[in-house]
Amino acid sequence: MSASPSHPLWLLVLTRIRLFLRQPEAVFWTYGFPLVMITALGFAFRGQPKTTVLVDIIGPQAAAFEARLASAPRFKITRPADTDWKKRLQTGKTNLVVETGDSPTEPPRFWDEVQRAESLFAREAVENTLLRDHLPNAPKYEESHLEAIGSRYIDFLLPGMIGMNLMGGGMWGIGFVVVDMRVRRLLKRLLATPMRPAHFLLSIMLTRLTFSVFDMIFLLTYGYLAFGVRCAGNYLELFPVMLLGGLSFAGIGLLTASRAQTIDAISGLMNLIMLPMWIASGVFFSAERFPEFMQPIIQALPLTCLNNALRGVMVDGASLTSLWKPLLILLAWGSVSFTIALRIFRWK
């Protein structure tokens, strides 16, 4: 294939780029929205030197009990009205409620929320502090805090956001565009021109891939400047993973759009495919949280494979050869999807 600037394929790519840049909303959802999400989640779950434990104290001996916890600066103590504590615990405004008795010798009652890890942690923290009061000669253990690349939530989040963005770009950036042109009868008109159908499909994929490359560089740069996120591995090994992920989801997006006839149909198909991966593929939390019997299916999902490979390079510093399994599965998803899409694609 000639690499001449006048080649139909490159002219089609240039046309797609110009059409994209003329749509400010598309530029925002491609570049602006991921930054908003990363910034919001990065600040919401930013690392803190010490964990603040929210404790509510109620009852006749509340003041005395508060004085017993005052020596530990990690406790943020509130003394709400006796009728408000249950609502505060239910809504997560406090982690633990301590109900004191009528006399100083009466043991307090702890109210926690068993479904919240921070509530159980708060109970253990209060119990340990009280135990030390009763055992003044108890040994004090030396504390050490792990500070390494990948130990923060933002280090975990950024690769997941990159993977989600590659999936969204490949699915919506290709699938939605193709169906929109089919609905407006543009595909039928293009088919009547001397243009090769393969050139048109390739131009859409290459355009999406071009924007994905700039998008990933943008996110990596922002993550480094705003939150100090660094790559533990080699950037030269990170970009092939991104490239493979972009191509794979481009193939899946093309397959999804190959037969859809309406905007409602493609929107439903896109959400049906992407929503399970948003939840289960480890974008915002580890996929290992799901039950063991679900793991074979979850680990075979393309977004799970992409996120595992991205975190393998960025967080663990792994090489491409050690990530052969998720990369091979990702390659299979893209190759099979693109092959089937070329065979069943409808132009009308």
**What string of pLDDT tens digits covers the 348 residues of the chain?**
444 566 667 777 777 777 767 766 666 666 677 778 778 777 766 655 456 788 888 888 888 888 888 777 788 888 888 778 888 888 888 888 888 888 877 888 888 888 887 888 888 888 887 777 666 665 666 665 555 556 688 888 899 989 988 888 888 878 888 888 888 888 878 777 777 777 777 888 788 888 878 888 888 888 888 888 888 888 889 999 999 998 899 889 889 988 888 888 888 888 899 889 989 998 888 888 888 999 999 999 999 999 999 999 998 888 889 999 999 999 999 999 988 988 888 877
DSSP 199-251: HHHHHHHHHHHHHHHHHHHHHHHHHHHHH----SS-HHHHHHHHHHHHHHHHH
Same domain, 200 and 57: no
Residues in the chain: 348
Give the DSSP H or E segment for 131: helix 117-134
What is the pLDDT, as a whole number, of residue 1?
Answer: 46
Contact 233, 309 (CB under 8 A): no
Same domain, 110 and 170: no
Same domain, 106 and 240: no
Same domain, 207 and 265: yes
Same domain, 96 and 194: no
What is the pLDDT, as a whole number, of residue 4?
Answer: 56
249, part of any domain: yes
Mark which of 134, 161, 180 sits at the end of a domain.
134
Same domain, 159 and 304: yes
Same domain, 84 and 189: no
Mark which of 99, 134, 169 sits at the end of a domain.
134
What is the pLDDT, as a whole number, of residue 141?
Answer: 61
Same domain, 185 and 279: yes
Give the number of domains in the chain: 2
pLDDT in tens, 281-309: 988 888 888 889 999 999 999 999 999 99
Domain that holds residue 171: 8-45+152-344
